[in-house]
Amino acid sequence: MTKTKIIFMGTPPFAATVLQGLIDSNQYEILAVVTQPDRKVGRKQELRMTPVKELALTVNLPVLQPEKLSGSLELTQLIALQADGIITAAFGQFLPGKLLDSVKFAVNTHASLLPKYRGGAPIHYAVMNGDAEAGVTIMEMVRKMDAGDMIAQSAIPITDEDNVGTMFEKLAIVGRDLLLETLPKYLSGELKPIPQNEDEVTFSPNISAEEEKIDWTRTSREIFNQIRGMNPFPVAHTLWNGERFKIYEAKVADENSVSVLTGKIVEKTKKSLKIACGKGTLELKIVQPAGKPKMDIASFLNGLGQKIQVGDKFGE
């Protein structure tokens, strides 16, 4: 069997799951893997490989890591490979036109139900906006961001127990399986792509620092969605005693009460802390005070939070 020669481009665990599927399928000859450069992470600023690079090295695939693909030596190397096609999944860079023109096909595994949420943070916005479902679209790559024709699409529900982390894990499996199922049909011409409806386009730009701040005048449901829409990264936060106070998990305790005490603690027990929102109240579950590790709310209240009182205020 003649294998289709491809270049794979991706970076986070979502992309590694898709790459693993391509490797396991044994239908594709992966000429090169392109991923973001190694980055320093954590308090010790240790240099860390991307999940895609880690996987590629375990099976001895060539890895390229250009800081910027356009105009790079790596771009010339990739074109010289004369691949049949390019498959991307959460790569994190635009593909130069020269590269797209050098192959017979280029498809992207995008974690959204296009044309909704074009851009780099579709799963975050789906959870933050309280959407009932999220999904993956297999689409043709074009020179405009996420604007290519759609080859296939699959959706799954978002439950109240989900956050960005769980949805990334679930959608990676959905994307892997959808790509493996539809790519052969697309390459044979059996599956015809359809254009996106430009009237329904929305965008999901990267999360800004301002969006990470909790505005306690919003409803408890909106803040709940914001918190889980940023867990495990970048993590929503408020201020406590003038310092950043991260909130990883919370629960809607009440959606209907109306209070002018937004951001103030309205109920405290040994294991519970409830805060008034613009409408409703929110119960904190997992938090991280400045300079401390992540902890459950009972541990916080038994330690740093011992002196906290009903009526104290979170936020500015």
Is residue 113 annotated as involved in ligand binding?
yes
Is residue 188 annotated as involved in ligand binding?
no
Q: In what order do the strands lie in the sheet with 150-157?
A: 63-64, 28-34, 4-10, 85-89, 105-110, 133-140, 150-157
How many other β-carbons are positioned within 10 Å of the β-carbon of residue 73? Answer: 9
Cα gap 269→203, rounded to integer Å? 42
Please report, as a single letter, which amino acid is at residue 129.
N
Tokens 């590269």 sit on residue: 99
The tokens for 185 are 């049909």
Please report, as a single letter, which amino acid is at residue 152.
A
> Residue 217: exposed, middle, or buried by beta-carbon count in 10 A (0-12, 13-18, 19+)?
middle
The tokens for 195 are 């254009």
Is residue 112 annotated as involved in ligand binding?
yes
Helices (H), the chain: 13-25, 51-58, 73-80, 97-101, 122-128, 164-188, 209-212, 220-228, 297-302
Is residue 114 annotated as involved in ligand binding?
yes
Cα gap 204→196, rounded to integer Å? 16
How many other β-carbons are positioned within 10 Å of the β-carbon of residue 11? Answer: 22
The tokens for 170 are 């679930």
Annotated binding site: 112-115
Annotated binding site for (6S)-5,6,7,8-tetrahydrofolate: 112-115
